[in-house]
Structures are given as structure tokens and as C-alpha cells.
Chain A
């Protein structure tokens, strides 16, 4: 896996710094340890990875496959299907069934020990040299079903029996964000691994490594603000870092702008307008902040933080606002118009602030 050839220049950092082997994976200690064990013993169950975006699910699955077979072999042994492929019930019936039922042929790469014998402890030093590395070459194939929560329920049902019937020669790795969207019979056939979103310190280590490799100068405080905005999503952090680097200078404002977070001054203006307790100034303020083009969801999040700490709201008001904001966000995700939703939230906030004022005066 050489990473410094000409074509690699165009590869985004997220792809270039995808962990090549399990031991490169940041943070997911338990998952990695279990899988390492599976690699050395060659006893691999069906797997189900779930967790928030950017926590390394796809990376772990790919790294696992890389470790199991020689580079020339693993492409033949692994079928990767994701949401960009057609995955209706017909594909399950034809493509997956076909691939799963084909038995494994002779392995051409000279295997120095039998199928299940993993590299011994003293030989691990040579792992880094690609050619000399020993691969367990287990006698099965892997189907990676990425983004499994978008597979239709019908197709999932069709998979049930296929998974069992071919388990002698084919292992499945299902990857999804929401484990609840994978039907129970499928989930119960797999060993479940929950991926945690990454804590800042382990992300920071990795980001520093990448920054050093790419010759990109970034201060500690900027890294911190990138991490804060990424919220444990490694991919987002790396993309932000690369974007900031591509734009030349990295400063706090650039980082906030890349994440599309509305600046405090804008939000303050809106809050000010809410205190007027009049409709027109509020409408004007909402108009203005919408015209600036900030993402509605981010605005709601910032507003929620502001409201929860605000002194001019009573407990009841805060509770009502929290519910309203949650509802507005849900509607936005459903595709409703941001402006109207934001207006309703602001309208309610105005009422609540006024209610508290009146109560105080009494």
C-alpha cells in the first residue's frame, strides 16, 4: 500500500489516512482486540458494526479484510456492497447468493502454515513489510454490507436464510448507524460491536500525525476548535483540517466558517430582538439570519444552548422551548421550510420571555 505515488495526491486525506491495519485504528480498543483475536485464531463470526458516523466502522471492516488475505487475494474474497449499489431483493437473490455460495478455490500465495495459524508473537515484527507479511488466509469469503440500515426490510428478510445456509464459506459484516433499523432476526445472527464516537484526545493524536505528514502547520487551540466542531466524528475532523489547509491559513474564524456555525454576534442580535416582545423586530431578525444562509439545524442547536442558560426564562419556558426546538428540528429533517420553523421557535421564545417578565413584576 504505497501512499506517496502521483495519483495519491488527489486522494482526500480521509481516504489516504484510513487505517491500513487493525492496530492503526484509533480508540476502539475492545472491538479491535476482539477482532485481532479473531484474526489470529481465524475464527470469525458474522459481525454487525453499529455506531455514529465517523467512528471507524467501515475502516475496521476494510482493515480486517486487509489483514486476513494477501493484497492480491483480498479483492477476490471480499464483496463490498454499499448504498450506492442496487440492493433490492433481486440483488440479494442473485448477486449475494451467488457470491456467498461459491466455495473458495486454491490459494496461490504460498501459505507457510495452515489456514488457521496466525502469525506468532515473535514474527510480528515483520508485519510492516508488505511482502513478507504472513496472512492467515482463512478459507472463507466476506461480504461487507455497508449502510445496512438502508437495505429494504424485504431484502433483509431474504438475507436471513442465506446467512445461515452459507455460513461455512461466507461471513457477513453488516455496518449501520442505527442498529434498530436492522431487523432482529438478522441482528441476532451476528456478533454485535458498538463503536463509540471518538474522544477528543485520541482524535487529536491522529490529527497531529496527519498534520505533520502533510506539512500543515496548525496550533493546538485550532485543533481543539476543530475537534469541538467535529463532535467525535473523525471523518468530519479530518475533512475540516484538510479544507482549512487547502484554504491557506488556519484560524479560528475560518474553522467556524467551515463548519457553518453562526457567529455569536448574529445570534445575539436575534436574542435581542426576542426581548422586544414585538412581532416586527423579531420577523426582521429572523429574515436577516435566514438571508445569511446559516443551516437551520445549527441555528436551532445554538439557540437551544442559549435558551437553556438564559436567566430570563423560567423552568417551564425552558421546557416548552426545548420541546419546540426538538420538534422544529425533526420537521427540518423531514424537509420542511427552515424559515417557518425558525419563526415558530422564536415566536414561542418571545412569549416565554414575556411570561417570565410578567411573573417577575407580579
Chain B
């Protein structure tokens, strides 16, 4: 098992940072019958899912951890079938409706309505390990966890609006996503928003040290801090890098001079950035296209590619160009979100960058004469 999963805290009290959020969740779990709809948001790797699981555990007791994987197939009115995987326990269902692509609206309409419209039977799900009164109240409600709601289409989000209100007596929704702007305002106003900020560098170092201790690993402070910084305050990434570094080092010692493990796609992108700063020509553009395709084929999201590429390009540029390149990056990233063929916009950005940079070089050259 990966360390990320192995050392994931499973109860609210075991969470190591954001004490005030844990406290709030604790007080919500005390009165499950008045639990509002929740909306967790924050950058990735900040611990949103961990907090949701811990909250469910606090509400429903251990039976919330008896998970099984379910596969549901259903047919859209146009006769197409959609398959959705969901993780279910006696009390909650977890699914990523965004997986259904354009048909996500039907998932919301069918699956959710069916789940929400039925009531849990009290006696059959009574919890043994909690005092019966709270368990009874908790058993009355069901929780549906929707992951990556930012990937939901606008229609699917609209479909949630009234459903959330109508079945609120039996069913609570927990929405979870990175980018709260992508959730329409009417949905946001129906939920209690819980912002989960990224952990600070010191907090990450603390977690890394705790994990290292459990794994009998000697971790030097300098390296721990290096990992934390390199991860961009993403705890998941930091833990994965720690594990990778351990495999690289081969032993149980991680000194300050240990090389930071970096993922190959990141290396690939910085190489691409170098390529296009070194030479601006149609043939280079073709070469860049190949690299971009390679990245896309390996399931690196286009937005991630563009952001990383911009970061790499900007770091080697003159200040006067940085803002212009940034402007265009934002422009093409918007196009990616609007359009459906990502490669076009990535290529367009690369071509645009080449044009800007070439012009800049030419101007400098002209000034010299």
C-alpha cells in the first residue's frame, strides 16, 4: 500500500493540521440530523477527501468504512448506456458524476433521485458502537458524496438545484472540488462551504517526519523542507515524493544531499520549454506538437501542461515579456476550457510564444545596429 493511503488519518481527532476545521466538523457530526449540505473546496492535496472520510466516520461510526464497489449502468433517453462506478457503504454513496461526460445530467437525475427519494430503515442499520440515540438520528439520513463537481456540466448542476432542496430531509450532499468558481452560484448558496487551505511548509514537514518515524526512516530536516517546497504545498505529492526518494536511496537514510525525485512528465515539459526558447521555426513547432501529443496521450490534463509550461517559460524570460506570455497563457487556457480539442490550443500557445519571442529577439538584434 502506498504511504499516502497507509498513513491517511481515519478519524477527525487524528487530523494533524487545520485544527479549526476539524473542530467545526466535529461539532457538525454531533448533530447529524441538522447536518447541512457541505461543499469542500481547496487546492489539490490539501486533504479534502481525508476530511470527508473522517467526517463520515464520526457520524456513522465504523460501518461507514464497510465499503464496496458498485457498478451501475443506465440508459439515457437517447438510448445510450452510461456506466458509473460508485463506492457505497450502508450509509453513504460516493461517485464522480463527471465521469459520465456529456451524460452527467442523467446520472444526477436518475441515480441521485433514486437514492435520495428512499429512506433508510432505522433498525437494520443501527450502529452497535455508538449510543443508540445518535445512531438512530444518523441512520435517518443518507449522504451522497460527489467528487470533482467542477467537472459537472452546467445542466447537471442545474439539475442538482431543486433535488438538493426537495430531498434534504433524507439525504445530504457533500460536494468536493478544487475550483469553486466552476460551481454555479445557486448551488454554492445551498451549501455550507468548507475551505481547506493547502498545508503550510512547516505542517508538511511535520507530517513527513511523522510518516518517516512510523516507517523507521531517518529523514534530515533539510531534505524534508526541500520536499515540502518542491511539492507546492501539496501533501499528497510530498508523501509520494518521500516514498520515491526512499526507493531511490535504497536505504533508510535520507540526508540533505539526497536528489529530489521529479516525475518524468515534468522533466519532459521543461525540456519542451527549452526547445521552444532555443529555436523558433515551423519544424520546431512540429516537434513540439509531437511532445504535446505524447503528454496528452499519457493523460496529463491540458491545463496542467499549459500551467507548467508557462511556469517554465516565464522563469527564463525577460521581465518585459513575462506579462505578455502570461496574458496569452490565460487566453489559451480559457479556450481549452471552452473548446473540446485541447491540442489545438496548446499548439496555438506554443506558436504564439514563438512569435512573441522571435519578435523580441529581432528587436534586440535591430537595436544593436
Contacts and interface: CB of A to CB of B under 8 A. Distances in A.
Given A54-B189, A90-B77, A297-B181, A15 B165 contact: yes
Interface in B132-155: 140-141, 150, 155
A71 interface: no
Interface stretch (B40-48, B261-269, B274-282, B289-297): B40-48
B342 interface: no
B169 A7 contact: yes
A344 B169 CA distance: 44
A258 B28 CA distance: 14
A259 interface: yes
B181 A9 contact: no
B36 A12 contact: yes
A9 B34 contact: yes
Contacts of A88: 77
A83 interface: yes
Given A86-B77, A147-B158, A243-B36, A336 B109 contact: no
A343 B168 contact: no
Interface in A316-353: 328, 331-341, 343-344, 347-348, 350-351
Interface residues of B, number: 67
A42 B182 CA distance: 44
A336 B190 contact: no
A194 interface: no
B35 interface: yes
B162 A84 contact: yes
B330 interface: yes
B196 A340 contact: no
A340 B191 CA distance: 27
Interface in A139-162: 146-147, 150
A10 B34 contact: yes
B36 A53 contact: no
Given A53-B185, A340-B326, A12 B197 contact: no
Interface stretch (B49-57, B62-70, B332-340): B332-340
> Which secondary structure dominates where chain A touches chain B?
helix
A239 B162 contact: no
Nearest to B304: A337
Contacts of B163: 84
B108 to A, nearest CB: 7
A15 B192 contact: no
Given A336-B334, A347-B326, A84 B159 contact: yes
Contacts of A333: 181
Contact of A257 (B36, B77, B195): B195
Given A10-B141, A11-B169, A336-B337, A291 B161 contact: no
B160 interface: yes
B193 interface: yes
Interface in B293-323: 303, 306-307, 310, 314, 319, 322-323
Contact of B33 (A10, A242, A328, A347): A10
A84 B109 contact: yes
Contacts of B182: 332, 335
Interface residues of A, number: 62
Contacts of A7: 169
Given A9-B34, A243-B192, A294-B195, A334 B161 contact: no
Given A336-B330, A338-B181, A293 B169 contact: no
Contacts of B338: 334-335
A315 interface: no
Contacts of A328: 330
Contacts of B165: 12, 14-15
Contacts of B189: 53-54, 233, 235-236, 239
Interface in A202-249: 233, 235-236, 239, 242-243, 246-248
Contacts of B28: 246-247
A344 B159 contact: no
A82 B190 CA distance: 16
A56 interface: no
B186 interface: yes
Contact of A340 (B161, B180, B233, B307): B307
Given A9-B34, A12-B168, A343-B326, A84 B108 contact: yes
Contacts of B6: none
Contacts of A260: 41, 180, 193, 195
Contact of B36 (A54, A150, A239, A344): A239
A11 B168 contact: yes
Contacts of B160: 84
Given A12-B168, A331-B334, A83 B190 contact: no
Contacts of A344: 323, 326-327, 330
Interface of A: 7-12, 14-15, 53-54, 82-86, 88, 90, 146-147, 150, 233, 235-236, 239, 242-243, 246-248, 257-260, 278-279, 287, 290-297, 328, 331-341, 343-344, 347-348, 350-351
23 contacts: A8-B169, A10-B168, A10-B169, A11-B168, A15-B165, A53-B189, A54-B189, A82-B162, A83-B162, A84-B160, A147-B158, A239-B192, A247-B27, A260-B41, A278-B319, A296-B181, A297-B181, A337-B330, A340-B306, A340-B310, A340-B329, A347-B323, A351-B323
**A-B CB proximity, top 3 nearest:** A293-B42, A83-B158, A236-B189
Given A7-B169, A10-B168, 11 more contacts: A83-B158, A83-B159, A84-B161, A86-B109, A239-B191, A243-B192, A260-B195, A334-B337, A340-B306, A340-B333, A344-B326
